[in-house]
Amino acid sequence: MLEKIKETIDFLKSRGFNSPDAGIILGTGLGGLTEKITNSIEIDYRDIPNFPVPTVKGHEGKLIYGDFGKKKIVAMKGRFHYYEGYRSEQITFPVRVLKYLGIKCLFLSNAAGGLNPDFEIGDIMIITDHINLLPNPLIGQNDDRIGPRFPDMGEAYDSYLINKALMIAQNHGIKVHRGVYLATTGPTFETPAEYRHFRIIGADAVGMSTTPEVITARHMGLPCFAVSIITDLGVEGKIKYTTHETVIQEAAKTEERMTRLMTDLIASL
């Protein structure tokens, strides 16, 4: 794997991707945050050696390097999912590339269904922990040069970054929740019985991404910060017909607040 990582790194450096401070992975309908990146360099995933190509609407498929929040960042405008047919190592390969490019922290966002009865559509949830029901991306032979065989996940989401984000949200008057994110394979949205089950086992929101990337990042010692945008509700009495289009629309409405939070948080690194 290191050989493929090196090949991809060499290509990106030849295009001007040098020493980024942080990496950002943007979820469904949240790619507009990249409009805040200045002095940017953009490359389509299809032109990057060893990168997969997203097949889902709302995931454009561009890697963007530039200035954001007074820092140099690399942003993934679009991610990859297990339900697209990609293997776990393909889904998480870009995270390993970002690490070897030099990022010090990984920031992630996703669109999710709210399970907590206190949540409403449009809320922002800072992820404090997760329940991973996707195949673990570390299954298989381990390369000790990249990370340990049995990485600890006691603090999958960095407590310092979480506390910093809470202070930033308070200063800006941005309402945020904290909670546990649960990841399923998708691509179906959940049944009412599944919503109840996930809530019983401790989840506050449910989606189809993020956990493989966080597990991979922690395998390499990268601190992570992640947020969910609540785009639909899986709370009994509030469940409505959901489509991918409505998820994209609701995510876009919250994008400005999420961008402000992320900008200030990255600037504070």
The per-residue pLDDT for 258 is: 86
The per-residue pLDDT for 269 is: 86
* Contact (Cβ atoms closer than 8 angstroms) between residue 171 and residue 220: no
The per-residue pLDDT for 195 is: 94
Q: Is 222 exposed, middle or buried (0-12, 13-18, 19+ CB in 10 A)?
A: buried
Taking the C-alpha atoms of residue 83 and residue 99, their distance in angstroms, rounded to an integer, is 25
Considering the entire predicted model, what is its pTM? Answer: 0.93
The per-residue pLDDT for 28 is: 67
Taking the C-alpha atoms of residue 55 and residue 125, their distance in angstroms, rounded to an integer, is 26
> Which segments in the chain show pLDDT lower than 70?
28-30, 55-60, 240-242, 244, 246-247, 251
The per-residue pLDDT for 52 is: 85
Residues 73-95 pLDDT 10s: 999 998 889 998 999 999 999 99
The per-residue pLDDT for 261 is: 92
The per-residue pLDDT for 255 is: 80
Ordered structural domains, the chain, with CATH? 2-267 (3.40.50.1580)
The per-residue pLDDT for 247 is: 66
R_g of the chain computed on alpha carbons: 17
The per-residue pLDDT for 241 is: 62
